[in-house]
Every structure is written in C-alpha cells, then in structure tokens.
A = this chain, B = another copy of it.
Amino acid sequence: MTRPAQPVVVDTTKSTHARLEPLTLSDVRLSDAFWEPRRRLNSEKTLPSQYRYLEETGRLDNFRRASGKLGGAYQGIYFNDSDVYKWLEAASWTLAGGDDPALERMVNTAISEVEDAQEPDGYLNTYFMFERARERWTDFDLHEMYCAGHLFQAAVAHYRATRSTRLLDVATRFADHICDTFGSGEGKRLAIDGHEEIEMALVELFRVTGDRRYLEEAEFFISARGRGTLGDPYGRFDPSYSQDHEPFSEQDEAVGHAVRAMYLYCGAADVYAENGDPALAAALERLWKNMTTRRMYVSGGIGAHHEGEAFGKDYELPNERAYTETCAAIGSVMWNWRMLAIEGGARYSDLIEHTLYNAVLPGVSLDGQHYFYQNPLADDGSHRRLPWFGCACCPPNFARLLASLPGYFYGKSEDALWVHLYANSEAVFHLEGHDPVLLRQSSRYPWDGAVEITVEGEGEFSLMLRIPSWCAEGATVAVNGGQSEAGISPGSYFELRRAWNPGDTVRLYLPMPVRLVESHPYVAENRGRVALMRGPLLYCVEVADNPGFDLRELVLDGEAPSARYAPDLLGGVAVLEARAHIVEPDSGWNENLYRVVGPNSGDHGDSTREVVAIPYYSWANREPGAMLVWLAGR
C-alpha cells in the first residue's frame, strides 16, 4: 500500500465523464434576502446549537468513551457517529465561507475526539467498541460503512475548506482499512452496506487524494449490490428496502427506503462521472424517469410510505400520509446535482431548484431551529416541527446543505459560465485561457423573475442561463439594454455566446403568473384537485389565513388567483388570493361514513369567500391548524 504522504489536491471535481465542473465554494458569495439570512442563521445559531446537542446527547462522549477518556455505556442509536460527521461537514463548509474562530474551536475539538477514537488498524465506529468489538462487520444493516462515508465526506469538506489534513488522514486510514477488507479480490470479503453513503464518499475521497483505489472500492460497492450479498440474517427487510433486490445496472424503479435510494444513485452517478460505464448511465436515466414521472410529490418530495420510509408504487402519493423525509429531498438535490454535472441538462437544475424551495426548505422552521422529519402535503394541525430527534439525521443534513448551498448556484464547462439558480450573488470563474471573470447577479427571486447579471470579464465565452421549465412562456434575455434574444425555450439552458466586455449586463426576465397545476389522473387522491404554484414556489392554504371553515370544504372557482407581496408575513412572502366556494357535506350525512347515492347527493350548502395561500415552505410556523396543498376545484 503506497499512498502519497500529502493528498494530491484535486480541488474542484471536473470528472472525466462530466460536462460541468463546480466552482470552489469560496468563489461564490450569496448576498440575497432569501437564502443568505437562512445561511447566517445556520452558522450563527443552528451549528452552535447542534453542537450542544451533540454534547448533551452523548454523541461526542461516545468518541471519548471509545478513546478511553470516559467510561459508561454507549449512548443512543448505533449510527449516532454520523451526526457528528454531518455536523463537521456542515461546519467545514461554513468555514469555507469566512473566518469563525468559535466555530473553528468546536470543529477542532470534535476532530480531536474523532482522531483519538480511531483504532490502530484504521477502524472507527464508537458503537462497535469493547463488548461489541467482536460484532464489527457482522451485520451490514448497522450502518458501519454509512458512518464511514459521512466521515469521508466531512474530511473532504474540512480539507477543502481549511487545507488541514487532520480529518482527511483519519478518513484515509479508515478507507484503507475498508479497501483492505472488502472487495472482489482474493482474500477480501464480499459485502455491501444496507444504507448506502460510502459509495459517493469514496469517490470524493478519490477526487481529493487522487488514489484510484477509493474509486475502485466505490465501483465494487455499486456492482456488488443486488447479488444477495447483503442478505437479511434477521428477516427484517425485503431486499428492495436497501435497493438490493437486483443488480444496480438492471434497476428501473425507484424502490425502498428513499434516502438510501438517493444516496445509492448519488454514488452510481459519481462512479459514472469517473468511469463512464454506460450501464450505470442507463440505469440512472431509468430511475430518474421513474421517480420524476411516477413517484414524486408535486413538492419534489419523495417517499410515499411511512413503513420503511420508502417509495410507494407508481402514482401512489397520499397527501396527509406522505412520508417525504427531509433527508430524502436533500438526497434528491445531491443526486440531481451529480446528474447536472454529468449532462448539463436543465431538467436536473430545474428539479434542484424546485426541491430546495418546496421539499427541503419546508423541513425547517423560519427560526431555523425546528425540523420536520416527514413533510405531509395535507395536515390536520397535529404535525409540528421539533428541535431535535432521537434519530437526528435531518437537522445536520439540512445544515450541511445550507452551508454548501452557494456551490449549487453556478458551474463551468470548457468555455462557458453556467447559471443554475437565481439570487443576489457574486461568483468568480476561472476559465482556461481567460482571466478570472466576476459575475454579479441581482434579483428579488423567488418573488420576482427579473434577474440582472453583470459580467466583469473579457473574451469570447458563453453564458448559460437556466430558463426554468415553470416559465412556459414570455421569458426574455436582453444584453446591454438591447432587444430580447430569440430562441428561449423553457426547461433548457439559453446560451449567450459573445465577446464580452467588462460591465456587460444581461437582463433575464422570467414572468411569474400563478399556475394551477393538476396531477396525472392515476394519482387517486388528487382527482379533481389543483395545486397552486408561482415561479419556483408551491403554495398551500393554512387555517391561520383562512379561519372559520374546514379546509376540506374549499372548492376553488374558475378565476385565476392573484399574487401580492406581504412583507410582514412569515418573513416576507408573496401570497396568492383566490375566490372559492365553501361546500359543506350536506346534512344527510349525519354521522354516516357511507350512504346510498340518492337524489340529494352532491346537493350541498354553498358560500363563497376569498382564500389566501402561502408558500408551502412556510407552513406550520404559526398556531397549529390544518394545511392543504391540493385544492378541490377547476
């Protein structure tokens, strides 16, 4: 085993089979009124408070126990190490954005505990210590590799943010141990983890260190799936729960635990980006199609079943009983990000935007301190966010996404700057053969679709502007105050190629009329219902704005709703206003649940009133009350 003493720095991730390359996190700066205040909350409030939870719940003490500094029993669930690693990743990405000595101290303390807990052979998992040491690598649904993967991701983030190799050294020692232990070669064990995560983490480790062994180990884990390797010694699960029902290259339906599925698809996409295996690309395409056209909520959320936190069947999308775990939405953003890098297709960045606003963001309260694990699309007022969970995967997952969010806004290819997301921001692009180009974006997005982009740079290259698929008509792009360019198609990147001069200004205009959206008639609960959308945002109605009647009795009338910006509501949101009928079940129902259809069926009392809809991400931030996304009507 020969490894360079210092990692080979491969700082950005232009992969052999990827069209796009991400920007270094420190090259992008958000300054908008929507995301940046949330990021500030994340660094100032959320990360310190999550660190306190890591201490108070014994998650850091588990490391101290493992290194012999503390006695007592292991505390919490067997995969609690991963929360420390996810927090470390979030904190590291935050440090990439600027100095924060207090946060840095917490990071260094946590890293010290992690370092001290590592075994001489590189193994590291604080659950499998002492009396459980003999159980290492015996039950592959106990998340040992999953935790390892989160360690690797944290290490990559910490190295990229700080250039320190402290955590990376821990990670590579453990990765080497895993590479020595598992694989298809002689003397190695055939095994995969029940909860995917290590696959993408190993590819990232390869990208930072240049060590192909890590890539090969990721390839092994992907190819070993669905071959009966995982097994189920305790009869707990169907193999599809862990996407182990068939080889990955043969899979064509998004099944099982939704977070596991997303992480597997991330790993397969990462491997494809490096090795170009067409069988992986074909499977990813089939899975993406199945998920997005059969098994995805209108929010972008995924996971229809509480049982197994899993995908349901095609068109099975219950609203109040939706599972739609916040982590699964985050996983979808991560997967689509990788697909976007590979193909440069706007369908992926469209879905990233949509999922961020409508499936990830609802998972956290406006104060940034309370979380949803599940995100139903209808509720009776009983579902409320909590500050932490025994199984606390979502809070630090959200924190690491928010911390790394600027990285999702832009990308580059050989001689093109790509603009994926819209918000006040600046980014520096290093294109080969060009001086650095500074791009400044100004917008009131997501409330208004006017975007101004100033290009501070020189030379001929392309500016690729995402024209969202939600902007079906009327999008315009004008340079330096001129006429709008022609050929602007929704759901694609509009290429503006020219010889740029410093200060050139591009005005993009994306009209945001209110849209009434219907779902495929096979979705049983949504028949005869519509969802309201405007720009990238999905809307819902909540009792707080619509008191005095049961939301289930609301039937929209035919008129188009109107939008109005309400600066003092829910941190400032555009609300939608619509006319609706309130249709009470007729008195003939009495206490009945079923009755014979008679002449009075459908003959209801009726009144009309104005209803107010708010962005779905902002629900459940006031007094508890019912909420509804899909409204009867049209």
Give me the interface of A with B, judged by CB distance under 8 Å: 235, 289, 292-294, 296, 298, 305-307, 312-313, 315-316, 318-321, 378, 380, 390, 472, 515-525, 527-528, 530-531, 552, 583, 585, 589, 591-597, 601-602, 632, 634
Contact = CB atoms under 8 A, between A and B. Distances in A.
A380 B313 contact: yes
Given A293-B592, A306-B305, A518 B597 contact: yes
Contacts of A523: 593
Nearest to A517: B594
B593 A518 contact: no
- In the A-B complex, the 7 residue pairs with the smallest Cβ-Cβ separation, listed nearest first, are A516-B597, A307-B307, A306-B307, A524-B525, A293-B591, A515-B596, A518-B597
Contact of A601 (B235, B472, B585, B634): B634
Nearest to A289: B591
Contact of A528 (B306, B315, B528): B528
A589 B520 contact: yes
Contacts of A525: 524-525
A513 to B, nearest CB: 10
A318 B526 CA distance: 13
Contacts of A518: 594-597, 601
A174 B634 CA distance: 65
Contacts of A292: 593
Given A318-B321, A518-B597, A595-B517, A527 B528 contact: yes
Nearest to A525: B524
A596 B468 CA distance: 14
B530 A597 contact: yes
Given A321-B312, A591-B293, A593-B292, A520 B585 contact: yes
Contacts of A583: 521
Count chain B CB atoms within 10 A of each CB in A289, A293, A378 and give the residue with the most.
A293
Nearest to A524: B525
Contacts of A306: 305-307
B524 A593 contact: no
Nearest to A380: B313
Contacts of A592: 293, 520
Contacts of A321: 305, 312, 316, 318
A132 B513 CA distance: 68
Nearest to A553: B521
17 contacts: A289-B591, A293-B591, A293-B593, A307-B307, A312-B321, A313-B320, A313-B380, A517-B597, A518-B601, A520-B585, A521-B552, A524-B525, A525-B525, A527-B527, A527-B528, A527-B632, A528-B528
A313 B321 CA distance: 10
A350 B416 CA distance: 73
A321 B304 CA distance: 10
A602 B518 CA distance: 10
A472 B316 contact: no
Given A313-B380, A316-B321, 13 more contacts: A293-B591, A293-B592, A298-B594, A306-B307, A315-B593, A318-B524, A515-B596, A518-B594, A519-B594, A520-B589, A520-B592, A521-B585, A531-B594
Contacts of A520: 585, 589, 592-594
A522 B632 CA distance: 11
A319 B594 CA distance: 15
A220 B124 CA distance: 51
A516 B307 contact: no
A227 to B, nearest CB: 24
Contacts of A316: 320-321
A421 to B, nearest CB: 21
A238 to B, nearest CB: 12
Contacts of A318: 318, 321, 524
A516 B602 CA distance: 14
Contacts of A595: 517-518
Contacts of A315: 593
B313 A585 contact: no
